[in-house]
């Protein structure tokens, strides 16, 4: 063991004994420090003590925190036949050491009635020493036991020496258990974060029930299973990045990185360095080597937003990476190979640009393997109530308060043309939430948030209602308060107060009075 010669069994000189102890302690500490495998480290220590003819039949048992039972983890010359050997607290000599937390030294185990010999390997004519292992607590965490190879007056010295080795073993066990505890905590935290990220970027974050959105959901669900290149098409603000993250976090690559880059934000020179990285000294300011987005996304997904904005010169460089998965860093000679799934997005008419010669046809076909078209919000107005409810809940969580949105506010939202799509809707709702002191987002608050009647591009339309529902039945909805009921009647009547009064079984004077006291802003038709 460790290239050392066998130490004689009998050591009569005190100086020789001290030298043996120091040398052995040094070797024990070296063995314990070279591996994170606890059982292997302990077995190596026991084997070294056995090979040096100092102790025989060494054994280390560790207590189970749940039961308090001591389980033999590592042993030398174990004849237990593969079965598990264990001791209860107070059971036999080993159990007594565990229960009392005190060293037990028996001069001759044949004379000790408490000795159980469950391992069936011990020499009855030799001494037996059991030492408790303390891991920084008052109660032992295990027991270290062995038989000295010498019989005589040195039992006390061998006991003290075994206690020194036990201190090193106990420290190793304590550090190993702390390492495993922290490793488990980190693994649990990692899994928790992964679940949270998947929930945050999962399909549940994509709201919509219109036929257009159901088609998108089905395409996303199918393409998520594979490594196919995806091209997301649609106007700005339709949720292309949300769809891209949903594809990644529901794909086999979900444990890998999801790296984003807006190609329109950088000129060609910076875009090349950003995507491919650069070597130290490649250009002025390149003080050190830097990995690009492709390297960072290795094993995961790279989302290239606004892909239609890159120049024809850079398109050729990007094409090579997409075709071969190979590139060189700026200023470098070494060819790097990466495993990256690419999801691109654009709001440009790539077919028209290919025809005009401003976008490479081969790159277009390399990107357009699986196109997914995201509809504009104005083309799926029926989704606005669900989107508004989802965004109100999102803003409420951000602001840490309860928020509600009224039907009149939703009706106003449904009349807007939404040139900025879902992003614009989210901004309007967040502004309205800021302007609402009570937490209720109604028509007037939405109007203050910048969605004024004069800007409405869509003709008046009520939200989807059950078939054959009469205006009177709708106005009798118990969930509407008085102000909401009056606004709903005015909208139903085209803001003609006399018609609205008839719907509410009121006189024109009564409804005019309620408009005034309820501070309802009357729309001019």
CATH assignment at residue 86: 3.30.450.40
Residue 201, classified by CB atoms within 10 Å of its CB into exposed (0-12), middle (13-18) or buried (19+), is buried
Query: Total domain count for the chain?
Result: 3
Domain boundary among the residues 326, 357, 375 is at: 375
Residue that finishes a domain, picked among 375, 391, 422: 375
pLDDT at 478: 60
Query: How far is the CA of 188 from the CAs of 60, 183, 185, 193, in angstroms?
Result: 30, 9, 5, 9
Is there a domain that residue 197 lies in? no
Residue 501 to residue 492: CA distance in whole angstroms? 11
Rounded distance, CA 163 to CA 103, Å? 8
Considering the domain boundaries, does residue 412 fall inside one?
yes
Domain end (from 375, 391, 412) = 375
Encode pLDDT of 393-423 as tens digits.
Answer: 999 999 999 999 998 899 889 888 899 999 9
Contact 446, 413 (CB under 8 A): yes
**Does residue 193 sit within a domain?**
no
pLDDT band at 64 (very low <50, low <70, confident <90, very high): confident
CATH classification at residue 501: 1.10.8.60
Burial 497-510 (b: 16+ CB within 10 A, else e): bebbbbbbebeeee
CB 288 within 8 A of CB 335: no
Question: 344 with 215, same domain?
Answer: yes
Q: Regarding predicted confidence, which is higher, 293 or 82?
A: 293
Same structural domain, 408 and 367: no
- CA distances 372 to 129, 170, 209, 247, 369, Å, are 74, 61, 17, 12, 10
Residue 226: which residues within 8 A CB-CB, separation 6 or more? Answer: 251
Q: 218 with 335, same domain?
A: yes
Q: Sign of the C-alpha dihedral, residues 499, 505, 507, 511?
A: negative
Distance between CA 41 and CA 515 in Å, rounded?
A: 84
pLDDT band at 2, cuts 50/70/90? very low
Same domain, residue pair 128 and 31: yes
Handedness of CA 22, 24, 29, 33 (dihedral sign): positive
Is 510 within a domain?
A: yes
Q: What is the DSSP string of 2-30?
A: TTPPPPPS----HHHHHHHHHHHHHHHHH
C-alpha dihedral sign at 288, 293, 297, 298: negative
Is residue 406 domain-shared with residue 428, that is, in the same domain? yes
Tokens 């239609």 belong to residue: 308
Task: Answer yes or no: is pLDDT of 80 > 60.
Answer: no
Q: Provide the domain limits for residue 230.
A: 203-375
Residues 323, 366 contacting (CB under 8 angstroms): yes
486: which 2 tokens?
């009056």
Q: What is the C-alpha to C-alpha distance for residues 169 and 135, in angstroms, rounded to an integer?
A: 9
Q: Would you place residue 377 in the very low, low, confident or very high pLDDT band (cuts 50, 70, 90)?
A: very high
Same domain assignment for residues 124 and 208: no
At 474, the pLDDT band (50, 70, 90 cuts) reads low
Structural domain contains residue 186: no
Q: Is 55 a domain residue?
A: yes
Q: Please tell me whether residue 326 adopts helix, strand or coil conformation.
A: strand
3-state SS string for 427-470: HHHHHHHHHCCCCEECHHHHHHCCCCHHHCCCCCCCCCCCCCCC
Query: Token pair for residue 281?
Result: 């000294």
CA distance 458 to 196: 39
Q: To the nearest whole percent, how much of the chain has pLDDT over 70?
A: 86
Global confidence as pTM: 0.59
Residues 6+ positions from 261 with CB-CB distance below 8 Å = 274, 275, 293, 302, 303, 304, 305
The DSSP line for 385-409 is HHHHHHHHHHHHHHHTS--EE-HHH
Check residue 304 and give its pLDDT: 94
How far is residue 342's CA from residue 294's CA, in Å, rounded to a whole number? Answer: 9
Same domain, 43 and 55: yes
Give the closest residue to 106 by CA, choosing from 146, 141, 47, 70: 146
**Burial tier of 418 (Cβ tally within 10 Å: 0-12, 13-18, 19+):** buried
Considering the domain architecture, whether residues 271 and 322 belong to the same structural domain is answered as yes
Q: What is the per-residue pLDDT across 268-308, written as a single tens digit (0 to 9) for each?
A: 778 888 899 888 877 777 778 889 999 999 999 999 999 99
Which residues, at least 6 apart from 145, have a Cβ–Cβ distance to it below 8 Å?
58, 59, 60, 61, 93, 94, 97, 128, 129, 130, 131
Check whether residue 424 and residue 364 sit in a common domain. no
Q: Look up the CATH number of the domain holding residue 207.
A: 3.40.50.300
Instruction: Assess whether 352 and 214 both reside in one domain.
Output: yes
Average pLDDT, whole number, for the chain?
Answer: 81
The residue that leads in pLDDT, 496 or 320, is 320
How confident is the model over 242-259, as pLDDT tens digits? 899 989 988 999 889 999
109 half-sphere exposure, CB direction, 13 A CA radius: 22
Tell which wins on pLDDT, 402 or 80.
402
Say whether both 164 and 98 belong to one domain.
yes
- Residue 430 sits in the same domain as residue 369: no
More confident residue, 224 or 51: 224
d(CA 110, CA 241): 77
Q: 7 lies in a domain?
A: no
Whether pLDDT at 81 is above 70: no
Q: CA-based Rg of the chain, rounded to a whole angstrom?
A: 38
Tell me: the pLDDT tens digits for 306-340?
A: 999 998 888 988 998 998 888 888 888 888 999 99
Burial of 370 from C-beta contacts in 10 A (0-12 / 13-18 / 19+): middle
36 inside domain: yes
Length of the chain: 525
pLDDT at res. 83: 59
How many C-beta atoms surround the C-beta of residue 72 within 10 A?
21
Burial class for 295, CB neighbours closer than 10 Å (0-12, 13-18, 19+):
middle
| Residue 448 or 151, more confident | 448
- Cα–Cα distance between 464 and 4 in angstroms, integer? 88
Q: Give CA torsion, residues 346, 351, 355, 356, to 10 deg.
A: -30
């Amino acid at each position: 063991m460790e290239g050392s010669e066998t130490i004689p069994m009998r050591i009569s000189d005190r100086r020789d004994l001290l030298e043996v102890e120091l040398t052995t302690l040094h070797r024990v500490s070296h063995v314990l420090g070279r591996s994170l495998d606890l059982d292997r480290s302990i077995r190596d220590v026991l084997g070294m003590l056995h090979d040096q003819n100092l102790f025989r039949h060494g054994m280390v048992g560790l207590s189970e925190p749940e039961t308090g039972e001591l389980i033999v983890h590592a042993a030398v010359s174990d004849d237990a036949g593969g079965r598990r050997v264990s001791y209860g607290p107070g059971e036999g000599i080993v159990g007594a050491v565990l229960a009392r937390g005190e060293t037990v030294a028996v001069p001759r185990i044949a004379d000790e009635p408490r000795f159980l010999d469950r391992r069936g390997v011990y020499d009855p004519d030799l001494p037996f020493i059991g030492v408790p292992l303390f891991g920084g607590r008052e109660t032992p965490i295990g027991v270290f036991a062995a038989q000295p190879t010498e019989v005589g007056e040195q039992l006390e010295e061998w006991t003290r020496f075994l206690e020194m080795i036990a201190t090193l073993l106990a420290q190793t066990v304590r550090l190993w258990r702390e390492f495993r505890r922290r490793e488990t905590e980190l693994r649990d935290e990692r899994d928790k974060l992964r679940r949270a990220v998947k929930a945050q970027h999962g399909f549940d974050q994509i709201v919509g029930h219109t036929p257009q959105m159901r088609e998108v959901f089905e395409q996303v669900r199918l393409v998520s299973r594979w490594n196919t290149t995806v091209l997301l098409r649609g106007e700005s603000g339709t949720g292309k990045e949300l769809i891209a993250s949903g594809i990644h976090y529901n794909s086999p690559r979900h444990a890998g990185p999801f790296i984003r880059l807006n190609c329109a934000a950088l000129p060609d020179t910076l875009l090349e360095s950003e995507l491919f990285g650069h070597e130290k000294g490649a250009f002025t300011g390149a003080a050190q080597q830097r990995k690009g987005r492709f390297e960072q996304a290795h094993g995961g997904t790279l989302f290239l937003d606004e892909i239609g904005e890159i120049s024809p010169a850079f398109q050729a460089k990007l094409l090579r990476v997409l075709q071969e998965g190979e590139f060189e860093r700026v200023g470098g000679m070494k060819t790097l190979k990466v495993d990256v799934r690419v999801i691109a997005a654009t709001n440009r008419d790539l077919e028209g640009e290919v025809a005009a010669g401003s976008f490479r046809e081969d790159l277009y076909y390399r990107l357009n393997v699986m196109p997914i078209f995201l509809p504009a919000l104005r083309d799926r107005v029926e989704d606005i109530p669900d989107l508004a409810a989802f965004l109100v809940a999102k803003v409420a969580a951000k602001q840490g308060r309860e928020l509600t949105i009224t039907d009149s506010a939703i009706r106003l939202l449904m009349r807007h043309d939404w040139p900025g799509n879902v992003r614009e809707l989210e901004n309007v709702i967040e502004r309205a939430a800021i302007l609402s002191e009570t937490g209720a987002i109604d028509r007037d608050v939405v109007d203050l948030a910048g969605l004024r009647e004069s800007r409405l591009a869509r003709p008046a339309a009520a939200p989807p209602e059950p078939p054959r529902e009469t205006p009177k039945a709708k106005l009798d909805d118990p969930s509407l308060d008085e102000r909401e009921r009056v606004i709903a009647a005015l909208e139903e009547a085209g803001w003609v107060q006399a018609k609205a009064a008839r719907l509410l079984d009121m006189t024109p004077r009564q409804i005019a009075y309620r408009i005034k006291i309820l501070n309802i802003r009357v729309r001019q038709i």
